[in-house]
Chain A
């Protein structure tokens, strides 16, 4: 394993979170497509999503999108303001911090009903 800096890990995560979100999106297009077959079919399938396994997966999805979005902003900022390259490490830590700040309460709210 090459011992790269934070940028390397940021990129790996960005890449695979993007792929994960894309896969979800494809599934989501298919399941939403079921609305064309009427309420019985749709409600039955979508009802599966209330299963705890899916609930946890859903939190994972939110994490992936959130991280990908925040890091995407970091990259876009650096791209349009090359002088920010000098601050790439702090920027990465900012992404991580904002991620934690937003993700923890969100995850709590989303899983709240499961916990009770």
Chain B
């Protein structure tokens, strides 16, 4: 089938304003949007710039705004978006070039929630025990691939880049509800700050954007509740 692909272009340090490039090309309805971008890059316009690696939705490289929604280009098929496709970079972070945004601020937020297990004491010789139910408790949030789709879909984040954002909260949740972790307080205190979890207004855009189908708003709600019920 024939499609019209429009891409919002920009090069930091060169362009003052973003502009649109338009391409016409033949694709299969079952091709990924990433395939279409590749076809353009490889056979029409080598200057078109985007990140990608795994091409099947597990590395988190290619989140972008596709027809007005944050998606992974490698996880949306042409037939799901139709023959008029408009692609833009994620909102809220500086664009380096075309569909590539600067991720450093995003990862600084992620790092700020201590996204790693802290377990007091010498570990046992074998594994720490954890029941299947305890393991299930945080399963959903272990799926995050840090693709940035959620945070950059959040209307609270757009005007306020200080908001720690759903992705960081998801990763804090992953450890807050892990029975082995002993560093709950520091993480909770971080999320209790002015740019923390209370900024979330239950908008659910993050959930709709998440390619891993994580129920992010639920995770955020559970963190809020944990703060609420925290002693002291």
Partner-B contacts on A (CB < 8 A)? 1-8, 10-12, 75, 78-80, 82-83, 85-86, 88
A3 CA / B221 CA spacing, docked (Å): 23
Contact B221 A82 (CB under 8 A): yes
Size category of the binding interface on chain B: 20 to 34
B16: interface (CB < 8 Å): no
Given known contacts A2-B205, A75-B202, is B155 in contact with A11 (CB within 8 Å)? Answer: yes
Contact A85 B217 (CB under 8 A): yes
Contact A5 B201 (CB under 8 A): no
B153: interface (CB < 8 Å): yes
Contacts of A78 in B (CB 8 A): 202, 217, 221
Which secondary structure dominates chain A's binding surface? helix
Name 22 interchain pairs, CB-CB below 8 A, sorted by A.
A2-B205, A3-B67, A3-B68, A4-B203, A4-B205, A5-B204, A6-B204, A7-B203, A8-B155, A8-B204, A8-B205, A11-B203, A75-B201, A79-B202, A79-B221, A82-B217, A82-B218, A82-B222, A85-B204, A85-B207, A85-B215, A88-B204
Contacts of A8 in B (CB 8 A): 155, 203-205
| Contact pattern, B 61-81, Cβ under 8 Å of A = 1, otherwise 0 | 000010111000000000000
B225: interface (CB < 8 Å): yes
